[in-house]
A and B are shown apart, each in its own frame.
Chain A
Amino acid sequence: MLMKLIPVFKGVDFFPHDLRLPFMKFKGPALAASIILMLISIGLCMTLGLNYGVDFKGGSLVELKTKSGNADMSALREKLNGLGLGSVQIQEFGSPDDVLVRLEEQPGGEAAQQEALKKVTAATENDYVQRRVEVVGPAVSSELRMTGFIAVAAGILAIVAYVWFRFEWQFALGAVIALSHDVLVTAGIFSLFRIEFDLSTVAALLTILGYSVNDTVVVSDRIRENLRKFKKMELNELLNLSINETLSRTILTGVTAVAVLISLYIFGGEVIRSFNLAMLLGVLIGTYSSIFIAAPLLGYLGVKRDWSEAAAKMLSSSTAAKTSAKAKV
Chain B
Amino acid sequence: MLQFTRTKVFFILLTCLAGLLVALPNMFSKETVAKWPWWVPHHQLTLGLDLQGGAHLLLAMDQDEIKKDWLNNLRDESRKVLRDAKIGFTGVGIQGSQLVIKLAKPDERAQAIKELNKVRQQIGNAVMGTGGYDVDVSEGNDPGTIIVKPSDAGLRARIANAASASIETINRRVNNLGTSESTIVRQGTDRILIQFPGLQDTKDLKALIGETAKLTFHEVNTSMSADDAKQSGIPTGFKVYPSEREAGGPSEYLLREQPVVQGEDLADAQPGFDSRTNEPVINFRFNQVGARKFANFTKDNVGKPFAIVLDDKVLSAPVIREPILGGSGQISGSFTVESSNRLAVQLRSGSLPTKLTIVEERTVGPSLGADSIADGKLAGLIGGIAVVILTVLAYGTFGIFACVGLLVHLVLTVALMTLIGSTLTLPGIAGLVLGVAMAVDANVLIYERIREELRAGRSPVASIDTGFQRAFITIADSQLTTLACAIIMFWLGSGPIRGFAVTLTIGILTSIFASVTVVRMLIWFWLRAQPKGRIQTVPV
Contact = CB atoms under 8 A, between A and B. Distances in A.
A211 B383 CA distance: 17
Given A210-B485, A211-B437, A253-B444, A129 B365 contact: yes
B539 A8 contact: yes
Contacts of B383: 259-261, 263-264
Interface string A89-117: 00000000000000000000111011001
Contacts of B430: 200, 203-204, 207, 272, 275, 279
A309 B186 CA distance: 54
A158 to B, nearest CB: 4
A150 interface: yes
Interface string B425-455: 0110111011011101100110110011001
Interface in A165-198: 166
A318 B469 contact: yes
B387 interface: yes
A310 interface: no
B493 interface: yes
Chain A CB within 10 Å, residue with most, of B376, B437, B473, B478: B437
A148 B526 contact: no
Contacts of A263: 379, 382-383, 386
Contact of A111 (B357, B375, B459, B496): B357
Contact of B448 (A150, A248, A272): A248
Given A200-B426, A263-B383, A271-B426, A256 B496 contact: no
Contacts of B482: 210, 213-214
A264 B375 CA distance: 9
Most buried by A among B455, B489, B504: B489
A11 B398 contact: yes
A218 B93 CA distance: 70
B368 A63 contact: yes
A268 B379 contact: yes
A154 B492 contact: yes
B49 to A, nearest CB: 11
A308 interface: no
A251 to B, nearest CB: 10
Interface size class on chain B is 35 or more
B362 interface: yes
A214 B437 CA distance: 10
A151 interface: yes
A161 interface: yes
A144 B426 CA distance: 17
Nearest to B487: A158
Contacts of B426: 200, 271-272, 275
Contacts of B491: 154
Contacts of B241: none
Interface string B349-363: 000000001111111
Nearest to A118: B203
A266 B478 contact: no
Contacts of A269: 371-372, 375-376, 379
A7 interface: yes
Contacts of A9: 396-397, 539
B386 A11 contact: no
A124 B173 CA distance: 29
Contact of B364 (A131, A137, A202, A257): A131
A200 B431 CA distance: 12
Contact of A260 (B360, B436, B484, B494): B436
Contacts of B203: 121
Most buried by B among A163, A261, A329: A329
B368 A135 contact: no
Given A203-B497, A321-B1, A162 B481 contact: yes
B477 A166 contact: yes
Interface in A292-329: 315, 318, 321-322, 324-326, 328-329
Interface of B: 1, 50, 58, 60, 200, 202-203, 206, 357-365, 367-368, 371-372, 375-376, 378-380, 382-383, 386-387, 390-400, 426-427, 429-431, 433-434, 436-438, 440-441, 444-445, 447-448, 451-452, 455, 459, 461-462, 465-466, 469-470, 472-474, 477-478, 480-482, 484-489, 491-494, 496-497, 500-501, 504, 525-526, 528-529, 537, 539-540
Given A166-B477, A209-B485, 19 more contacts: A2-B525, A11-B539, A110-B358, A113-B358, A121-B203, A151-B497, A206-B500, A207-B430, A210-B434, A213-B482, A221-B473, A252-B394, A257-B440, A260-B387, A264-B379, A264-B383, A267-B375, A272-B426, A329-B459
